[in-house]
Structure 1
Amino acid sequence: MITQDNLVVNIDTVIYYQVTDARAATYEVASYIQAIEQLTVTTLRNIIGGMDLERTLTSREEINAALRGVLDEATGKWGIRVNRVELKAIEPPTSIQDSMEKQMRADRDKRAAILQAEGVRQSEILRAEGEKQSAILRAEGESKAAALRAEGEAQAIRTVFESIHAGDPDQKLLSYQYLQMLPKIAEGDANKLWIVPSEIGDALKGLGGAMGNFGPLTGGGNGGGTPAATGKEPAPRREQPTID
C-alpha cells in the first residue's frame, strides 16, 4: 500500500467471515474467497491512501472499522457475513524503520535528559530549602544567645549595683576605684578624650588632702631644713604623693 505521504507499507490482514447463503455464495460470485481478497486489497488502498504513515501506524481500529463496513456492504449479497477484520502487521520501509528507531532513541534520550534535569532541579530546591532552614535556625540560636548574654550582663550589673549600694561607699572609695580604672580607660589609640564627672574632682581633692597630711619631718632651730644634731640617725624623709 502507498500512504498519503508516498511511502510504501506492507499490511498483513486477517478476515473472519461466515457463509450465510450457500446458493448466493455459489451463483452470485465466481469465487467468493478471491472476491473477498480483491475487495479487501482495494478497500485498504483507498483507506491507506488517505492517511500518512504516522496516522496509519496509530489508527488500526479506525482502519479495521472502515474495512469491515465496506466488506459487509459488498459481501452481503454474496451470502457472506464478515465477522471480524484485523490488521496483523503494518511494516514501513527499512529506511523509515531506521529513522523511526533513531527518533525513538532521540525521544528516549530527551526524556532521560528531562528527568535528569528535573532531578537536579529538585535536588537544588531541597538543598536551598535546607540551607534556608539552617540559616533560620542559626539566626534564632544567635538571637537567643545574644538575649541570654544581655540578660546575664544585666543581672551582673544589677548584682554589682546592689552590692555597691549595700556597702554604702563614700566619695574617697569611689575616687580610688576610678583611679584604678584609669589605665583600662586609657587603653587603645582611639581614646583621645576622657569624661570625668565633676563629683570626682571634689572627691580627689579630699583624697589628696587626706594623703597630704603625712608631710616631711623637720628639726627645730635649723632654718635650712636640716635635722638637728641629736645623736640619732635622722628619720628617712617621706615623699609626698602627687596626684596627677
Structure 2
Amino acid sequence: MQQPEVAQATALEERYAASLAQSNGATLDLSSLRLTELPPLDELAQRFPRLSHLNIRRNALRSLPDGLARAFPQLSSLNASENALEELPASSIGALRYLQRLNVAHNRLGELSIATFERHDALEELDARGNLIEKISFDNLDEKLPVGAGLRKLQVLLLADNRLRLIDPTTTDVLPKLRVIDLSGNPELSEAPEKLRRLHERNLLLHSRAKRRELITRALSIRKVVAQALAAAPAASPTRIK
C-alpha cells in the first residue's frame, strides 16, 4: 500500500500532466487532494508559466502563500472554496491584480480585509458564501474594513449564509457596476442600502423563475420519454374468451 505522501505526489503529477495535455498549462486543477499547503510556488511557476485558472477547491488549506502574483502573474480565476481559510492576506490574494473571478465560499473568513481588495481593479465576481462575515463597510477610517475600494468593476457579489448584521450605505457608491448580490441566509441582517435590497430581491426572483423553467423542462422531458416508451412497446394481444 502506498504511503500518503507518495500517493499525493503521484496524484499531483497526474494533475500536472492532465493540465498540460488539456489546456497547455493554462488551467490547473488541484481540487480534492487533501492538500494542507500548496506545492512550492517556484516549482509550479516553472511548470505552468502561463497559468490563468487555478482550482484548489475542497482541500484542507488554512492559508495561502505569499508570492502568488509573482508565480502566476496572468492568473484571472481562482477557486479556493471549501477549505479552512481564515483570512485572505494582501501579500497573497491581494497582489493578484488581474484576478477577475475569486471563489472563497465555505471557508472560515471573518472579514474581507480592505488591504486585500484595494488593488483588485479587474475583479468582476466574488463568491464569499458560507463564511463568518458580519459586516460590509467602506469607511476608510476603519482599519478592520471587510472590503476595500478597489472593487469598482465588481458585478457579482455572493454573501449568502454568513453572519451579516450591517451593510454600510456607502457600499452602493463603491460598487457602481454591481448587478447581482445574494444576501440570503443572513437572518440578523438589519441594515442594507435600498439598492442592494432591490438587487438581492431581483436575483431571488430570477433564480426562482430559472428553477421553475428547469422543473417544467424536466417534466416535459420525462413525459416525452414515457410517451416514446409507450409508443415503442408491443401492443398487447387481445384475450380470447373460451
* Range of TM-score over shorter length: under 0.3
Higher relative contact order (CA 8 A, sep 6+): 1
Higher helix share: 1
For the pair shown, which has the larger CA radius of gyration, 1 or 2? 1
With normalisation by structure 1, the TM-score equals 0.25
TM-score normalized by structure 2? 0.25
